[in-house]
Amino acid sequence: MPDQPYDLIVGLETHVQLLTQTKLFCGCSTKFGAAPNTQTCPVCIGLPGSLPVMNRKAFRLGLVAAIALNCEIPEFTKWDRKQYYYPDLPKGYQISQYDLPMSKSGWLEISDPKGRFATKKVGIIRAHLEEDAGKSLHDEAAGKADSRIDLNRTGTPLLEIVSAPDIRSTEETRAYLTELKLLLTYLNVSDCNMQEGSLRVDANVNIHIQTLQGKIATPIVEIKNLNSFRFIERALAYEAKRQYDVWQETGRKMGDPGTFKQTRGWDDAKGVTFSQREKEESSDYRYFPDPDLCPVITLAGDVREVRGSLAELPAAMRHRLEKSYGITPYDSDVIVAQGQPLVTYYEEVARIGGDGKKAANWVTQEVLRVLNEQAWSLEKFPLTAGALGELVKLVVAGEIEITRAKEVFNDMVAHKRSAAESMAALGIGKVDSSELEAICREIVAANPKIVADVKSGKQQAVGALVGQAKKKNPNANPNDVRRICLEIIERM
Amino acid sequence: MSLTAHSAADLLRDLAARKVSSVELVNAYAERIRRLDGQIKAFLHVDFDAALARAKEIDGRRAAGKPVGKLGGLPVAIKDVLCTQGIKTTCASKILQNFVPPYDATVVRKLKEADAVILGKTNMDEFAMGGSTENSAYFKTTNPWDTSRVPGGSSGGAAACLAAGMAPLSIGTDTGGSIRQPAAFCGVTGIKPTYGRVSRYGLVAFASSLDQIGPLGRSAEDCALLLEAIAGHDPRDSTSADLPVPEYAKSVSQPLAGLKLGLVREYFGKGLDSEIEAAVREAVKVYQSLGATVKELSMPHSKYGIATYYIIAPSEASSNLARYDGVHYGYRTDEKAMLDELAAEQKKYEAENNTKKLADLDTPLIRLYRKTRAEGFGPEVKRRIMLGTYTLSAGYYDAYYLKALKVRRLIRQDYDRAFEEVDFLVGPTTPNPAFKLGEKTDDPLAMYLEDLYTVTLNLAGLGGISLPCGFTKSGLPIGLQLQCRPFDEERLLRAAAMYQRATDWHTKRPTIGGKE
Amino acid sequence: MSLTRADVEKVSLLGRLRLSEAELDTMTTQLTRVVGYVEQLREVNTDGIQPMAHAVEMHNVFRDDALAPSLPRDAALANAPKRDSECYRVPAVLGE
């Protein structure tokens, strides 16, 4: 952060809902948007006598994510009961993992093509598997002071991913979350949809202040339920300043007697974080191993098998595209961020077009522009990679020049036809060389001042002749016009 | 001899031979229940109409030559701690007074598939916490041998109804001795199977790592019949063992030659009633006459069994009972009265300017939980929740719960060592015979100490049986306990049956109020 | 180790039980007695002993990610002490 008297320190706790058909401990559906209390059973309601049985696919997805995050996978893992009382937690405890989680000590690399921060590895302290709670809906009807409880969501499998406090700016925060979301969607571990609640973020924030006595750290504040990337950025910026102001007023620092971890929420309308009253006793979760669930043993061979089954990860994909096609980190970032289908599309365009850089420009600028304007997904886009590749090939060969090529492109999209068909329809083609010679001789003859400028050393002046050439024939290639005119002038 | 005096095995043979119908049986037991249960109070609820309808359907099928399950038409009583779909399941607690489960426990489903006929749900200590059935929120069950005394607990109703001839078979549960001890007090036979032998799905949990469902009957042969029907792997219970179920009923009558029995030195210290000791030693002599050898051995950690159990069980219970909060099912306190009470307190503290009490005042939600649970649970349940919450709480977990789990392993190791030398451990089931109603309710710890011989089996996760081996001079039954290796119930039943062929303690019946 | 009344009050909040003044007193006495008894475990040497949280050592028990029928809503809500046509109802939860 520029010119701040403090450094922002952020650790992020994200909860992602795993892409399983059914819940973590029972066969109820995890489908989003069902009518309240229609996806529950004795197990997830926590009826007397019910028992949990672990979803094999959920465990595997957790393993996939943990391995992709470069975590260590301990051989032995178990589940524990985290006990507290809340109406959306029907058993009075959440089945989670406490001291022996399924993974720990990993990292996620983040980078910024715009160079606002140096590439770094953000540590992942742990990733563990736990069940979700239900939902509490406040009754809007006038005069009613009830909360309404919907248990559809109880028992949905969650992976809780805890980062180390290695994040140092709102840009890094956004990059971490973007990369994490990209990774997990690539792996089909989660759809990371913040609007639907399949990606939830809590931030642990404090600041380091440089004083004459050395570095002071303020007490850590947990900001909960940040519902969008924008909210997160705004909340962090606000909170950092608020902590600085409080420190200036009170001098309280981390570790001072009487300070404990505060919890705050973000009110986007007011643009402030606010304190959420929490009694001290609620932090005694009385964890103990869940006697109803058996521990899981994961051997090195299992880890190898899972690692071997992983598709190419986004980071590796970006590096490979940069190396193989000579494109910039900025472009590879844009392409990979769109997902596997666009990467496949791009590579095909580059292969047929014969020029990776040009293909990247066409894909990131023209294709994505149209997709955004039309709100299309790639499947709906009318140009196959082959068709676009052909166009690029023509541009590379100099058969069309760039502005005309864009007209061709738009026509191809609008009429779903090939480059050749569009060119014919638009009357675009390479100008016959003798015709071009004739045109150039004409305009050179008509522009003695430009000739004089060029002859006196101002080569660029010839550029003014391009427009004139195009008026005589719109298909005139600007580079050819410049070259031929210069030759003619030189011979004069 | 009246129908209800027969063993379940005999009744099953008669049913198969069509000498008797299931309807006749249900009527016979219903009649006896109507006549005697006013005194014994073993049942919390009965539904004779439903039982007769079911019996009729089974009789019809049998008559038509269609297949009939292994328990074909036999009436069974079920402790009210197993979920029965559409039938109230209260766990003898107020907090579940109107709870009707929408599903059957796996054991209940298996009983139905075996064509058993459910007579009713039996009384118990609330949430299976207790050793006398005096902790039921509804009423106390009496011992048919002496109705001024307890039948034992927590499966007191299940044992008493058998002893009084009000059912031929019953299902109980055992967490620290709750099948074996009432079986001993009531002069019937009862088994706690090895942990994992029988599915816990649908068993309202008390202490998850200790609870097991088991059969009670008038003989080992009857228990074998019932165990075979309820045992087996259940994919709905992660802790259920994936092992085949032996044909217990078939093999139970085969004797065991060269049995090696172990007498645990520590069981015969002071505190063991002398009449019980005499009866047990007499029973050992009977085994010796049947070819068994006896060895004395030591289980040095058995004396820590009660302390270990009374940390682990309440800890798990405090967690298992957290769900009874009045939100999704069960009893909820009167909300309006609760809110009024809070408002009054708020006013009072405001008037007193008591800022601390105001800051600590419960929110409506918290007060809802606290009042619901205070009103819905009885004193013993509250005590165990408090104890378990304390032993799991921050700062105490290591010293109590974690420590207890380690001693538990030492207790199990004592058993493993013992079973290297002997086939079964033999000893008394209880240190004393059935005590009088109200005798031990003042001192919780005194009640806990009665579990001396039974808790270690649950801690170790092994199997055991209690069978009648005599009577005190005042006519109270005495129980003999055999403990076995993991999943060795097949031989355990045979060993018990051997004894019952050589003796007739298990055939004795009490006279209740002067009647047979 | 003796429990104080304050300890017992704290535990009663953690366990969501409301005890009357008399009950608090009785509970303090009774719990102190039981805790005093169970403390004898301190004298047991458990160095190097693994805790036994499960009665039987089993691992890797899973179920397939296959749909099973949920309860119809009315059956799910049938035992609710207070409900509307769709949801369980409780006094308003804090912070909403």
Q: Mind listing the pLDDT tens digit for each residue in B312-348?
A: 999 999 999 999 999 999 999 999 999 999 999 999 9
Scanning every residue of chain C, which has its alpha carbon at the shortest distance from the alpha carbon of A285? C14
Scanning every residue of chain A, which has its alpha carbon at the shortest distance from the alpha carbon of B322? A92
Residue corresponding to tokens 């690029």: A392
Scanning every residue of chain C, which has its alpha carbon at the shortest distance from the alpha carbon of A87? C90
In chain A, where the domains are located: 7-301, 312-426, 433-491
Do residues B54 and B191 both lie within one domain?
yes
Helix then strand then coil, % of chain C, to nearest 5: 40, 5, 55
- Which residue from A45, A54, A292 is facing B208, i.e. has the nearest CB? A292
Do residues B232 and B366 both lie within one domain?
no
Nearest to A238 by CA among A276, A272, A194, A213: A272
- Which residue from B102, B239, B327 is facing A149, i.e. has the nearest CB? B327
Residue corresponding to tokens 């030189």: A490
Q: In a 3-state reduction of DSSP, which class is residue A219? A: coil
Do residues B112 and B221 both lie within one domain?
yes
Interatomic CA distance for residues A82 and A376, integer angstroms: 44
Q: Do A291 and C64 touch (CB under 8 A)?
A: no
pLDDT number for residue A277: 63
Residue C33 sits in a domain of what CATH number? 1.10.20
- A432's tokens: 């016959």
- Partner C contacted by B330 (CB < 8 A): yes
Chains that touch A (3 or more CB pairs under 8 A): B, C
Q: Is the pLDDT of residue C94 over 60?
A: no
- Partner C contacted by A136 (CB < 8 A): yes
- Partner A contacted by B139 (CB < 8 A): no
- Which residue from C61, C65, C91 is facing A22, i.e. has the nearest CB? C65
Scanning every residue of chain C, which has its alpha carbon at the shortest distance from the alpha carbon of A31? C67
- Partner C contacted by A38 (CB < 8 A): yes
Interatomic CA distance for residues A355 and A362, integer angstroms: 11
Residue corresponding to tokens 């009429």: A415
Do residues B94 and B171 both lie within one domain?
yes
State how far residue B84 is from chain A, nearest Cα, in angstroms.
Answer: 11
Identify each DSSP E strand in A259-320 by its residue range: 262-267, 272-275, 288-289, 296-297
Do residues B145 and B77 both lie within one domain?
yes
Contact status, residue B452 vs residue B305, Cβ threshold 8 Å: yes
Which of A47, A83, A84, A94 is the best substitution to test chain B (most B C-beta atoms within 10 A)?
A47
Quick one: which H or E segment has residue B466?
Answer: strand B463-471
Q: Do A85 and C16 touch (CB under 8 A)?
A: yes
Q: Point out the catalytic residue in the list B154, B170, B219, B302.
A: B154
- Partner A contacted by B85 (CB < 8 A): no
- The tally of CA atoms less than 13 A away on the side-chain side of residue B216 is 37
Helices H / strands E in chain B, number of each: 18, 11
Contact status, residue B411 vs residue B305, Cβ threshold 8 Å: yes
Q: Which residues of chain A have pLDDT under 70?
A: 1-3, 140-144, 277-282
Do residues B455 and B351 both lie within one domain?
no
Interatomic CA distance for residues A225 and A385, integer angstroms: 41
Which of C19, C24, C34 is the best substitution to test chain B (most B C-beta atoms within 10 A)?
C34
pLDDT number for residue B433: 97
pLDDT number for residue A288: 95
Say which CATH class A433-491 falls into. mainly alpha
State how far residue B367 is from chain A, nearest Cα, in angstroms.
Answer: 12
Do residues B444 and B366 both lie within one domain?
no
- Give chain A positions within 8 Å (CB) of B389: 286
Angle in degrees, CA A345, A348, A352, rounded to 5:
145
Interatomic CA distance for residues A334 and B359, integer angstroms: 53
Quick one: which H or E segment has residue A394?
Answer: helix A385-396
Interatomic CA distance for residues B505 and B183, integer angstroms: 13
Q: Is B115 left (phi over 0), alpha (psi -120 to 50) or beta?
A: left
Per-residue pLDDT of B454-475, as tens digits, reads 999 999 999 999 999 999 999 9
Contact status, residue A190 vs residue A17, Cβ threshold 8 Å: yes
Q: How far is the CA of B455 from the CAs of A136, A301, B93, in angstroms?
A: 42, 41, 23
Identify each DSSP E strand in B2-71 by its residue range: 43-46
Q: Is B395 left (phi over 0), alpha (psi -120 to 50) or beta?
A: left
Scanning every residue of chain B, which has its alpha carbon at the shortest distance from the alpha carbon of C60? B238
pLDDT number for residue B106: 98
Q: Name the DSSP class of A111.
A: -
Which of B78, B325, B338, B386 is the best substitution to test chain A (most A C-beta atoms within 10 A)?
B325
Helices B305-320 and B403-421 cross at an angle (nearest 10°) of: 130
Q: Do C90 and B368 touch (CB under 8 A)?
A: yes
Is there a domain that residue C30 lies in? yes
Interatomic CA distance for residues A451 and A487, integer angstroms: 11
Q: Do C44 and B304 touch (CB under 8 A)?
A: yes
In sequence order, which residues have a C-beta less than 8 Å from that of residue B300 and are 6 or more positions away? B266, B414
Q: Point out the catalytic residue in the list B79, B110, B140, B192.
A: B79
State how far residue A245 is from chain B, nearest Cα, in angstroms.
Answer: 27
- Which residue from B100, B370, B383 is facing C30, i.e. has the nearest CB? B383
Residue corresponding to tokens 């993992």: A97
Would you tell me how many other CB atoms lie within 10 Å of the CB of residue A171?
16
- Which residue from C65, C73, C95 is facing A38, i.e. has the nearest CB? C73
Domain span holding position B360: 330-376
Would you tell me how many other CB atoms lie within 10 Å of the CB of residue B10?
16
Interatomic CA distance for residues A54 and A57, integer angstroms: 9
- B452's tokens: 């001396």
Contact status, residue B177 vs residue B455, Cβ threshold 8 Å: yes
Identify each DSSP E strand in B218-304 by its residue range: 260-264, 293-297
Quick one: which H or E segment has residue B172?
Answer: strand B169-174
pTM value is 0.93
Chains that touch B (3 or more CB pairs under 8 A): A, C
Q: Do C90 and A146 touch (CB under 8 A)?
A: yes
Residue B450 sits in a domain of what CATH number? 3.90.1300.10
> Over chain B, what is the mean pLDDT?
96
- Partner C contacted by A151 (CB < 8 A): yes
Is there a domain that residue B16 lies in? yes
Domain span holding position C16: 5-41
Angle in degrees, CA B85, B91, B93, rounded to 5:
125
Scanning every residue of chain A, which has its alpha carbon at the shortest distance from the alpha carbon of C61? A294
DSSP string, A450-488: HHHHHHTT-GGGGGHHHHHHHHH-TT--HHHHHHHHHHH
Contact status, residue C62 vs residue A121, Cβ threshold 8 Å: no
Would you tell me how many other CB atoms lie within 10 Å of the CB of residue B469?
28
**Structural domain total, chain B:** 2
Is there a domain that residue B174 lies in? yes
Q: Name the DSSP class of A364.
A: I
Q: Which residues of chain B have pLDDT under 70?
A: 513-516
- Give chain B positions within 8 Å (CB) of A59: none
**Structural domain total, chain C:** 1
Amino acid at B99: F
Contact status, residue B178 vs residue B153, Cβ threshold 8 Å: yes
Do residues B337 and B450 both lie within one domain?
no
Do residues B108 and B221 both lie within one domain?
yes
- Partner C contacted by A265 (CB < 8 A): yes
- Give chain C positions within 8 Å (CB) of A148: 84, 86-89
Q: Do B486 and C78 touch (CB under 8 A)?
A: no
Scanning every residue of chain C, which has its alpha carbon at the shortest distance from the alpha carbon of B459? C55
Q: Name the DSSP class of B450.
A: G
Is there a domain that residue B464 lies in? no
Q: Name the DSSP class of C64.
A: -
Contact status, residue B483 vs residue B285, Cβ threshold 8 Å: no
Which of B323, B391, B396, B397 is the best substitution to test chain A (most A C-beta atoms within 10 A)?
B323
Would you tell me how many other CB atoms lie within 10 Å of the CB of residue A337?
15
pLDDT number for residue A145: 75
- Which residue from C13, C65, C71 is facing A21, i.e. has the nearest CB? C65
Q: Do C90 and A284 touch (CB under 8 A)?
A: no
Sign of CA dihedral B137, B141, B147, B152: negative
- Which residue from B102, B239, B377 is facing C71, i.e. has the nearest CB? B102
Residue corresponding to tokens 């909060």: B325
Residue corresponding to tokens 């426990």: B105
Sign of CA dihedral A381, A386, A387, A390: positive
- Partner A contacted by B101 (CB < 8 A): yes
Contact status, residue A116 vs residue A173, Cβ threshold 8 Å: no
Query: What long-range pairs does B510-513 form, CB within 8 A, spacing at least 24?
Result: B510/B144, B510/B145, B510/B163, B510/B164, B510/B187, B512/B36, B512/B39, B512/B40, B512/B144, B512/B147, B512/B164, B513/B36, B513/B39, B513/B147
- Which residue from A54, A55, A147 is facing C96, i.e. has the nearest CB? A147
- A438's tokens: 């004739």
User: Among this protein's residues, is B79 annotated catalytic?
Assistant: yes
User: Among this protein's residues, is B178 annotated catalytic?
Assistant: yes
Interatomic CA distance for residues A357 and A324, integer angstroms: 10
